[in-house]
Structure 1
Amino acid sequence: MANIKSAKKRISVIRQKTLRNKMIKSQVKTAIKKVTTAVAAGDAAAAKEALRAATSTIDKAKSKGVFHKNNASRKVSRLSKLVNTIA
Structure 2
Amino acid sequence: MANNKSAEKRISIAKRNQRQNRFYKSSVRTLTKLYLKNIELFKASQNPTDKEKAKTSLSSLYSLLDKGTKRNVFHKNTAARKKMKLATQLKLIDSN
TM-score of the aligned structures, taking structure 1 as reference length: 0.89
Residues 31-70 of structure 1: matches in 2 within 5 Å? Answer: 31-42=31-42, 43-70=50-77
The higher radius of gyration belongs to 2
- Which structure is higher in RCO with an 8 Å CA cutoff and minimum separation 6? 1
Decide which of 68, 73, 80 is 1:73's aligned counterpart: 80
Report how many residues are paired.
87
Which position in structure 2 is the counterpart of 1:25?
Answer: 25
| Runs (5+) with no aligned partner, structure 1 | none
Which position in structure 1 is the counterpart of 2:45?
Answer: none
Q: Is the 8 A contact 1:44 1:86 kept in 2?
A: no
Decide which of 73, 79, 91 is 1:84's aligned counterpart: 91
RMSD after superposition: 1.2
| Runs (5+) with no aligned partner, structure 2 | 43-49
Tell me which stretches of 4 or more aligned residues in structure 1 moved more than 3 Å.
Answer: none
Q: Distance in 2 between matches of 1:4 and 1:15?
A: 17
Letter in 1 for 2:80: S
TM-score of the aligned structures, taking structure 2 as reference length: 0.82
